[in-house]
Amino acid sequence: MNTLFKRSIHFALPLLMVATAGLLNGCLGSSDSTTAANAARTSPSAVQAAQVEMGEQTIAMRNANGRVEVLKNPLRIRFFNAADELVLEQVSSSGGVFEPGFAVDEPLGSDYLPRMLLNAPFSYMVGAEIAPQLRATPWVGNYLTQALVGLQYHGTEVLEANKTATGVALTIATNDPTGRVIDVEMAPADNNSFEVRMAVKPASGVVMVADSFVLQLEESFYGFGGRHNAVNQRGNLLTNFIQAQNIGAGPLAPVANLASGQGEGYMFPSGPDAAYYISTAFASTGGYGFMLDSTRPSRYDLGASNTDAWQVNVSGSEMTYLLVPGTEKKALQGLSGLQGRHRVPMQADLGPTLSRAVRVLSAEADDATSYEAKIWDDIAKMDAFKLPVKGYVFEGWEILQRETSKTVIKALHDRNIRAYLYIRNYVGIDVANTERPETFTEALQEGYVVNDAAGLPYLFGTPFGGLGAAIDFTNPEAVAWWEGRIREMLEELGADGFMQDFGEHIALDMHFFDGSTGATMHNHYPTVFHQTTRKIIDDIESKTGRHIFFWTRAGYSGRQGSSGFESSNFPGDETSDWSRASGIASLTTDMLSRGATGSYGYNTDIGGYFDFHTGPASAELYTRWSFWAALSPVFRVHNSSSNGVRMPWFYGEETLEHWRKAAELHLKAAPLIIKLWQEAQTTGVPPVRGLWVEYPKDERARQEDQQWMLGPDVLVAPVVEQGARSRNVYVPKGCWKHVDTGVQYEGPRDVTVPAPIDSLPYFFRCGSNPF
C-alpha cells in the first residue's frame, strides 16, 4: 500500500471519532455564524418582477429571463431559459435514513481518500468539521487539512408554499428523524438571475449544506477564479478557500507529482486547485451561469464523485446561489455583473512596465543606498536603449527618503512614464523593506490590526521570515489611517498607482473589530481590503481628474466581489520555470479562468517571481514569457524573489531586442485591448477569452487551455515548452491567417507553424485587420 495513502487513512480515523462523538451528542455544534455582509453592489441591472402560479402539484415562478418550476412531491426544482428550455434541474435520487458523509481536503494537497457526498435535493450534513491551521508560517491562512464527517439528509417534499412580495417561500420536509425542515426562498434577482436561499432549521449540529444537479452529457464548466489546474473543470473537485504561496515542486516535481497522486499540476502545500484569487461563479455550456453567494468555505464537485451529477456545498447551515439562464455569453454578462468587472484603465497602464523589487534574503540584499542606485541605473538604461517603457514600479520606496521618491517620480513623469509604488495588507517586521519598521509599531499600539480571541494582536509568520499582523479594515480608525497611507503615495509623492499585495493570511480564529471572525472573513477580507482602497481612489479621481491604477493578488467573488473594485490583478508568485503547476504553462489556465467572471485585467510577472528552488529565469524562458504577455491584457516585468531582478538588458543585446519586439507588439495591440475592455463593461465578455466562448459547440475548443482569443478575430498560441521552435495550434472553424508568414489555414484542424525564439504564433481571422 502507498505510504502516503496509509498516512491519510490514519489521519482520517480521528476525524471519524470526532464526528461520532458529535452525532451522539444529538447534532451538536454551535449555530451558523453570521455571514459577512457583501460589499455594496454597483450598478445592478433592473430586476424583472415574477409571476407565481401555485398549482396543486407544481409551483411555477417566471419572468422574461426564464422560469423556475418546483415539483412538490417528490421534491425537485427545475430551471428554464427564456425560450422555456430546461437548462438545470436538481437530481431526483434520494438517500436513506443512515447516509454517512465524508469530505476532506487532504494534507499536502494529496488525493487518495474517496468522498462520500449525497446527491439529492437540498441535502445537509450533521456531524463535525475540523480545519486545523498553523499560525507560525507563511501559510497561516491556509488549511493544513479540512474535513467534514457525519450523516447526510435531504429535502423530500414541500410542506408549505406561500407567495412573497418578490417570489415564493417554501417549507420543505426532510428524511431527518429529528424532524428538521428546510426553509427555501426563491425570487428573481439582478443581472437576469434567479436567487435561491436555503436554511436548515434548527441549525444546531449542521456542518454543511449542499444542492446537487443533473450533469448534462457534454456539459463543460468555466470560471472559478485563478485556477491553474484546468480551463474546463468538468470532472474536478474545487475548494473555494483562498490559499497562499502554492507553488510547483521545481526540481522535485517528478517525485512530488507522483507521491501526491495529482500529476504534473501538483502544487505545494494545497494541491492543483489552490488559488490566491477565487470565484464561486462559473458559466456552463449547458445554458446557464451559476454563482454561490457565500464567503464561507465551500466546495464544488463537478462530476468527480458521481459522473451523473454535480454538487455545490458550503460549511454551515445556510446557502444562497444564483442562476443565470442563457447562452454562454449571456451567462458571462450576468455573472460578471453580479461579481463586478475590472475598471477600464488608461492605455499607458497596460505597459510595457518594469518593476524594481528590493532584493532580500541574500548576501547581496539591498539597503536604501544600493536600492536607490539601482533605480537610477534602470532609468539610465531605459534612456540609453530607448526602450518603449510606459510604467515603472519601485516597490521599496518606503526605505528611501520621501524627497528621493518625489525626485524619482518626477524623473519618470518627465519621460512620460507612469510611476507605481507598493503597499500590502499587513504590517510587518521583516527584511522585505516594503515599509518602515515604525509602521508596525504604530499599527499595533493604536489597535489597527486584527486580534486573537484574547483581544491581543494576532501575529503570524510572514513569507519574508518575520512577524506580521493584518490590518483590520472593519475598524473605522484603521481605515482612516490606511487612507493617510494611500494619500501619501498618490497625493504627496505623486504616484500614479501601486501594487496592492497579499490579503490571504486570514486565519479562522482571527477576530475583527465588527465582531466577525476568520470563518467568514477569510474569503471576504480581500474584497473589504480592495473596496476600502477603491473608495479613497474614487475620491481622489473625482476631485482631480486623475486616473489611478492598482493591481492586486488576493481576491474573492460575491455581490460585489473583489473584481468590482480593482483595476487589475496578478496571479501571485509564479515559479521561474516551464511547469504546468505554477510556471509559464500555468498562465493561460489562470488568465482564462479568472477572466470569465469579470476579473479580466490579467497582469503576469514576466520572468516568474518565485525562483528560490528553481533558480532564475533563463534567457529563453524570459523571452518566451515576454511574448506570452505581448497579447495579454498587461505587459509587466516582475521577477525573482531570491536571485535579483532580471531586467530586459540583463541577458545581453539579443534578449533585449527580443523583449523590445514583444513590447512593441503589445503596444500595437493596446488600442484593441482597451476597446475590448470598454465593450466588456457592458457585455461581460472578457477581452482575452477562451476558445469555448466563441466556439461552445466545438469539443476541442472547449478543452483548449494553452491558447486564447483576443476578441473574436485574433487567435493566440504562445510557446510554453522549453526548446520548442515550432508550435502545434488548433485553429477553429473559419479561415485564419498566420500573421508572421501570411499562410492561411481553414479550420477546424491542427496545424504546425514555425515559432523561432523571437516570435509569438498568432493569427487574424481572414479578411480582418484587428491591429
* Model confidence pLDDT, tens digit, residues 555-591: 999 999 999 999 999 998 899 999 999 999 999 999 9
pTM greater than the 0.85 cutoff: yes
Q: What is the mean pLDDT of residues 490-509?
A: 97
Q: Is the pLDDT at 349 greater than 80, yes or no?
A: yes
**CA distances in angstroms from 255 to 106, 261, 262, 513, 615, listed in the order given:** 18, 10, 11, 45, 19
Q: Name the amino acid, one letter, at 431.
A: V
| The pLDDT of residue 251 | 92
Q: Tell which wins on pLDDT, 143 or 286.
A: 286
pLDDT at 7 over 50: no
Q: Residue 95 has what pLDDT? A: 76
Query: What is the predicted pLDDT for the residue at 28?
Result: 31
- Whether 541 and 547 have beta carbons less than 8 Å apart is answered as yes
pLDDT at 17: 35
Length of the chain in terms of residues written: 771
What pLDDT was estimated at residue 23? 36
Residue 418 has pLDDT above 80, yes or no: yes
CA distance between the termini of the chain: 58
Is residue 13's pLDDT more than 90? no
Helix (H) or strand (E) holding 536: helix 518-544
- Residue 390 is which amino acid? K
The model's confidence at residue 98, banded by pLDDT at 50, 70 and 90, is confident
What pLDDT score does 137 carry? 76
Helix, strand, coil percentages (3-state) for the chain, rounded to 5, are 25, 30, 45
Q: Name which residue leads in pLDDT, 152 or 11.
A: 152
- Asked if the model's pLDDT at residue 686 lies above 90, the reply is yes
pLDDT tens sequence across 355-382: 999 998 777 889 999 999 999 999 999 9
Residue 43 pLDDT grade (very low, low, confident, very high; cuts 50, 70, 90): low
Please list, residue by residue across 666-679, b when 16 or more beta carbons sit within 10 angstroms of its beta carbon and e when fewer do.
bbebbebbbebbee
Q: What angle do CA 399, 400, 402 make, to 5 degrees?
A: 125
Is 518 within 8 Å of 452 (Cβ atoms)? no
Q: Count other C-beta atoms under 10 Å from residue 752's C-beta.
A: 10
Is the Cβ–Cβ distance between 399 and 392 less than 8 Å?
no
In the predicted structure, residue 176 carries a pLDDT above the cut 60:
yes
pLDDT beyond 60 at 296: yes
- Examine the pLDDT at 680 and tell me if it is beyond 90: yes
Statement: residue 413 has pLDDT above 90: yes
Which pLDDT score, from 0 to 100, does residue 40 have? 36
CA 290, CA 293: separation in Å to the nearest integer?
Answer: 10
**Has residue 30 got a pLDDT over 60?**
no
Average pLDDT for residues 214-218, to the nearest whole number? 96
According to DSSP, the residues that pair with 155 across neighbouring strands are 174
Beta carbons of 69 and 171 less than 8 angstroms apart: no
Q: Reduce the DSSP state of residue 27 to 3 states and report it.
A: coil
589: how many CB neighbours lie within 10 A of its CB? 21
pLDDT band at 111 (very low <50, low <70, confident <90, very high): confident
Q: Are strands 206-214 and 123-130 parallel, antiparallel or unpaired?
A: antiparallel
What's 681's DSSP letter? Answer: H
Percent of the chain, pLDDT > 70?
94
Q: Could you tell me if residue 287 is left (phi over 0), alpha (psi between -120 and 50 degrees) or otherwise beta? A: left
- pLDDT category of residue 44 using cuts at 50, 70 and 90: low
Grid coordinates representing 729 are 495550434
SS3 of 572, please? coil
User: Residues 6 or more apart from 20 whose CB is under 8 A from it?
Assistant: none
Q: Which residues contact 267 (CB under 8 A, 6 or more apart)?
A: 109, 228, 246, 247, 248, 274, 581, 582
Grid-cell match 437540498, residue found: 122
Sheet strand arrangement including 418-424:
568-569, 549-552, 497-501, 418-424, 391-394, 353-356, 636-637
Interval 79-95 mean pLDDT: 94
pLDDT band at 4 (very low <50, low <70, confident <90, very high): very low
Res 507: pLDDT: 96
Residue 3 has pLDDT above 80, yes or no: no
State the residue for C-alpha cell 523590445. 660
Task: With beta carbons less than 8 A apart as the criterion, state whether 761 and 718 touch.
Answer: yes
Tell me what pLDDT residue 352 has: 98
Average pLDDT over residues 213-219: 97
Domains parsed from the chain with CATH numbers: 3-338 (2.60.40.1760), 347-686 (3.20.20.80), 691-765 (2.60.40.1180)
Q: Contact at 8 Å (CB) between 223 and 336?
A: no
Residue 654: helix, strand or coil by DSSP? Answer: helix
DSSP string, 384-451: HTT----EEEETTGGGS-HHHHHHHHHHHHHTT-EEEEEEESEEEESS--SS-HHHHHHHHHHT-B-B
**Grid cell in block for residue 609:** 517571481
- The answer to whether 194 and 79 are in contact (CB under 8 A) is yes
Q: Taking the alpha carbons of 733, 284, 224, 261 in that order, is the dihedral positive or negative?
A: negative
Residue 573 pLDDT: 87
How far is it, in rounded angstroms, from Cα 685 to Cα 226? 17
- Is the pLDDT confidence value at 164 over 60? yes
In eight-state DSSP terms, residue 349 is G
CA 259 to centroid of chain Cα atoms: 27
Q: How high is the pLDDT of residue 168? A: 98
Task: Give me the pLDDT at residue 131, please.
Answer: 92
Considering only the C-alpha atoms of the chain, give the largest distance between any 2 of them, rounded to a whole number of Å.
81
**Bridge partners of residue 569, in order along the sequence:** 552, 602
| pLDDT single digits (tens) 587-640 | 999 999 999 999 999 999 999 999 999 999 999 999 999 999 999 999 999 999
Average pLDDT, the chain: 92
- pLDDT at residue 404 is higher than 70: yes
Whether pLDDT at 424 is above 80: yes
pLDDT at 685 over 90: yes
For the chain, give the percent of residues with pLDDT over 90.
85
Higher pLDDT, 756 or 35: 756
Distance, CA of 39 to chain centre: 17
Q: Which residues of 170-208 are buried (b: 16+ CB within 10 A; e: fewer)?
A: bebbbbbeeebbbebbbbbbbbbbbbbebbbeebbbbbb
